């Protein structure tokens, strides 16, 4: 399955840092979230699927931390749709520290489709699948 890839830039600020002078692990989840929103915004994907009454929520994070990022470093987050199942999608994301070209982390994030009105999981329709693949 060929899908588009997006890149998001984030600069590490002092409020991202923990007592060890590294980016706090929970902040990485925020960075990944920002990158997924940017990925969806590039084609207005979430807006388009919401018109069909469909939303997506996180069901699973799997993060492999590899190298700590620090204050004032520039991060590049790569986001790519890896898989679309019957009711879920899996995104592959990586964070690269631009200054030293080290990978801070790699992650897979599973999102589940749900009906906005009933708040229950639903199958991904062909129309929504097409929007995700754009």
Options 18, 64, 72, 115, the catalytic residue: 18
Active site residue 18: yes
Q: CA dihedral in degrees (82, 45, 10, 24; nearest 10)?
A: -70
The CA distance from 52 to 50, in Å, is 5
Give the Å distances, CA to CA, from 53 to 9, 84, 89: 31, 18, 17
Residues with active-site annotation: 18
């Amino acid at each position: 399955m060929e899908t588009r890839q997006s890149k998001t830039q984030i600069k590490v600020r002092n409020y991202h840092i923990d007592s060890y002078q590294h980016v706090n692990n929970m902040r990485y989840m925020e960075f990944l979230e920002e990158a997924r929103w940017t990925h969806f915004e590039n084609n207005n994907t979430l807006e388009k699927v919401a018109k069909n009454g469909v939303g997506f929520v996180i069901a699973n994070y799997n993060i492999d931390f590899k190298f700590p990022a620090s204050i004032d470093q520039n991060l590049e987050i790569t986001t790519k749709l890896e898989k679309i199942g019957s009711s879920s999608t899996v995104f592959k994301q990586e964070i690269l520290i631009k200054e030293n070209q080290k990978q801070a982390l790699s992650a897979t994030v599973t999102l589940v489709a749900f009906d906005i009105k009933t708040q229950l999981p639903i199958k991904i329709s062909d129309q929504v699948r097409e929007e995700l693949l754009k």
